Amino acid sequence: MSTLIKPPKEIPPQKQDRQPGLEKDMDPQPIYDNDEPGYRRLEGKVAIITGGDSGIGRSVAVLFAKEGADVVIAYLDEHEDAQQTAADVRKYGKEALLIPTDVSKEVNCKNIIDQAIEKFKHIDIIVNNAAVQYEQQSLEDITAEQWEYTFKVNIFSYFYISRYALPYLSDGSVIINTASVTAYKGNQTLIDYSATKGAIVSFTRSLSQSLAEKGIRVNAVAPGPVWTPLIPASFEPEKVEQFGKDTPLGRPAQPVEIATCYVFLASKEACFLTGQVLHPNGGSIVNT
């Protein structure tokens, strides 16, 4: 694969009938790695990535491994996708611990931290990335159950993971949260999803202030449209076909184009960045 990302010109209509979707069933396959060498910027680090089996999470796991980090990959039940991600991590000589679990539940988030410590003895990087989204045409179509579950996965898990990881984090540790362009622009058919992403931005800013004295940096990435399994799992085929074409760059991002932001934020190169949000969104201007 060339170091210059050459995304497909067209995405055919498609639909997946499960959340959060399967990468193995996508057409075309997302680009999650490149030929760039790793620079060992995360040598000896251990990273926990929720939603790490596919999409942005997969690419982050692979690029972290290239930089020298072992990774803990928490995911729901997409076992084949997760095994592929683990294989790519191990290809770069690093360890991958797979933990299938539902992060909407507090006890499962605690278990992720406990298993990570049992396996690796320390934690250096937290990537809160798991998310679901369910398109609804009206506020009245959003059930209380959907609203609650979206919040439990998309923001409650970020709180639980960070809270239980905190006793093991120290000066130089990093927390990176996945927000979204919808936190700033909104989305008329993703009201609950957008609300959780706005909460993630505020959570990031507040937590960064709380942990600054401990030397723990907290930042976020707010992607625009990205070609991940969440897209065919969320939208009708006709909308998938047009996905991302309304950005100034005229296409959705590939996961690897977003994952580089996480590598930067996790590295010492970002040592003076905390409480900030990076915006790889294809050219949309947002009020940060």
Q: What is the pLDDT, as a whole number, of residue 20?
A: 86
pLDDT digits (tens, 9 = 90+) for 5-55: 677 778 999 999 988 899 999 999 999 999 889 999 999 999 999 999 999
State how far the alpha carbon of 130 is from the alpha carbons of 102, 147, 227, 269, in Å.
Answer: 10, 16, 15, 25
Quick check: 288 pLDDT over 80? no
Distance between CA 102 and CA 110 in Å, rounded? 11
Categorise residue 194: left if φ over 0, alpha if ψ from -120 to 50, beta otherwise.
alpha
Q: What is the pLDDT, as a whole number, of residue 9?
A: 74
Q: Is the CB of residue 106 less than 8 Å from the CB of residue 160?
A: yes
Q: What is the pLDDT, as a whole number, of residue 5?
A: 67
Q: What is the pLDDT, as a whole number, of residue 53?
A: 97
Distance between CA 68 and CA 64 in Å, rounded? 6
| Three-class SS state of 46 | strand
The model's confidence at residue 1, banded by pLDDT at 50, 70 and 90, is: very low
CB atoms within 10 A of CB 45: 23
Q: What is the dihedral of CA 161, 197, 216, 211, to 10 degrees?
A: -90
Q: How far apart are the first and last CA of the chain?
A: 34
Q: What is the pLDDT, as a whole number, of residue 287?
A: 77
Quick check: 3 pLDDT over 80? no
| Three-class SS state of 8 | coil
CB atoms within 10 A of CB 49: 29
pLDDT digits (tens, 9 = 90+) for 250-266: 999 999 999 999 999 99
pLDDT digits (tens, 9 = 90+) for 89-147: 999 999 999 999 999 999 999 999 999 999 999 999 999 999 999 999 999 999 999 99
**Is 32 known to be catalytic?**
no
One of 160, 184, 193, 262 is an active-site residue; which one? 193
pLDDT digits (tens, 9 = 90+) for 136-171: 999 999 999 999 999 999 999 999 999 999 999 999
Calculate the average pLDDT of the chain: 95
Domains delineated in the chain: 38-278 (3.40.50.720)
Quick check: 2 pLDDT over 70? no
Q: Among the residues of 18-131, which ranges form H helices?
A: 55-66, 79-91, 106-120
SS3 content of the chain, % helix, strand, coil (to 5): 45, 10, 45
